[in-house]
Structure 1
Amino acid sequence: MPTITLANLITASRLAAAASLALATLGGWPPALAAALVAYAAATDALDGRIARARREVTAFGAMLDQLADKIFIATALVLLIAKGAISGADMLAALLILARETAVLALRRIARLDGMAAPVSALAKVKTASQYLAVFLLFAAALEPGARVLLETGLAVLWIAAGLSLVTAAHYFMRMRENRWT
């Protein structure tokens, strides 16, 4: 049974934030709430691991929950942004690349664990996740200001950067798995 720790509770709150983001976006609640939920999720992603390490409460469950919470939050945000038309046309390819990468790497990391290999998150993958949070924050923030074209364009540019980082980090994970060089 997983140990309940402060860090794990903070991580789990990202799952509640994803559900709240869906309710806020689909319910027509103020766009500021959606942007605040994205900022909250990004902040808790930066905070939970630090707390776990500081309190010496790092667990395999917490590490798995952290990755899952990030993937669920980002996937929820991307689907909502597509549904609301903030991501459309060719930019949907960037979102789909991110979603495909997240699914593939989640499966790969599970296989690695089943084979008894550790599958640590790379530094570049942390940058990738931060860029995903920044992209969705900017895209939700663009809804705050009608005509905030610069926020929308910047958010879409960062989304493409996140998609590129997604592909690079996925390739890196697959090469490490193939070469059996997980540490």
Structure 2
Amino acid sequence: MNLPNKLTVLRVIMVPFFVFFMLTGVGGAANKWIALIIFCVASLTDMLDGKIARARNLVTNFGKFMDPLADKLLVCSAMICMIPLGKLQAWFVIVIIAREFIISGFRLVAADNDIVIAASYWGKFKTVSQMFMLILLIADLGGAFNMIAQVLIWVSLVLTIVSLIDYIAKNVQVLTQGGM
């Protein structure tokens, strides 16, 4: 397993630790900061694994498939944690997760036909906006930061919908060739 793929696996392993610190009181007031550090490190592995894979020509089908899934696991877990904390509405998180299930379904049908579909730029913009939104929501710094977080919630929602439409439009042949 190459370094970019190890970083992807590391991101997946970090998710339960992040959720633990977000939703338990074990570390007291430090929990949100521990969770924030874990989330930021996990988010950075997303950027690093892709840069390393492309720079060193280490792009693999495993990476093309698992990297977006690892991102979804991290981001969706974080958004779900925001619901009981009152920082995100359930309907918002449902829309985001529904998009992720639809895209994952596309990828599974494509994989069944020996087609690997990499993430699009719209999907990457969506993920980055969601990660910045979540960093601000986790940090909960107040004032202008909360206003920026609120703007990013809506930006993330728009990018989620745009990326879904773009993904379907560019990959509709997967449905027609997939025997659906």
What's the CA shift string for 1:29-75, capped at 9, x where partnerless? 32111211221122111100111223322110122111111000011
Q: How does 1:39-118 map to 2 (within 5 A)?
A: 39-88=40-89, 92-118=90-116
The structure-2 alpha-carbon separation of the partners of 1:96 and 1:156, relative to structure 1 and needing over 3 Å to count, comes to farther
Tell me, yes or no, if the aligned pair for 1:112 and 1:177 is still in contact at 8 Å: no
Equivalent of 1:15 in 2, 12, 16? 12
Q: Which residue of 2 aligns with 1:122?
A: 120
Q: Please say if 1:25 is aligned against 2:22.
A: yes
Q: How does 1:171-182 map to 2 (within 5 A)?
A: 171-179=165-173
For structure 2, the residue ranges without an aligned partner over 5 or more in a row are: 175-180
Tell me, yes or no, if the aligned pair for 2:11 and 2:45 is still in contact at 8 Å: yes
Deviates more, 1:25-34 or 1:74-83: 25-34
Q: Which residue of 2 aligns with 1:134?
A: 132
Tell me, yes or no, if the aligned pair for 1:95 and 1:163 is still in contact at 8 Å: no
Question: What is the distance in 2 between the residues matched to 1:18 and 1:133?
Answer: 14
Tell me, yes or no, if the aligned pair for 1:141 and 1:151 is still in contact at 8 Å: no
Question: What is the distance in 2 between the residues matched to 1:53 and 1:78?
Answer: 29
What's the CA shift string for 1:8-43, capped at 9, x where partnerless? 111111112211111111222321112112211221
For structure 1, the residue ranges without an aligned partner over 5 or more in a row are: none
CA RMSD of aligned residues (A): 1.8
Question: What is the distance in 2 between the residues matched to 1:156 and 1:96?
Answer: 17
Q: TM-score scaled to structure 1, two decimals?
A: 0.85
Tell me, yes or no, if the aligned pair for 1:14 and 1:44 is still in contact at 8 Å: yes
Question: What is the distance in 1 between the residues matched to 2:101 and 2:64?
Answer: 17
Pick the structure with more helix per residue. Answer: 2
Deviates more, 1:68-77 or 1:31-40: 31-40
Q: Please say if 1:159 is aligned against 2:153.
A: yes
Q: Give the share of equivalent positions with the same residue, in percent.
A: 29
Counterpart residue identity of residue 96, structure 1? I
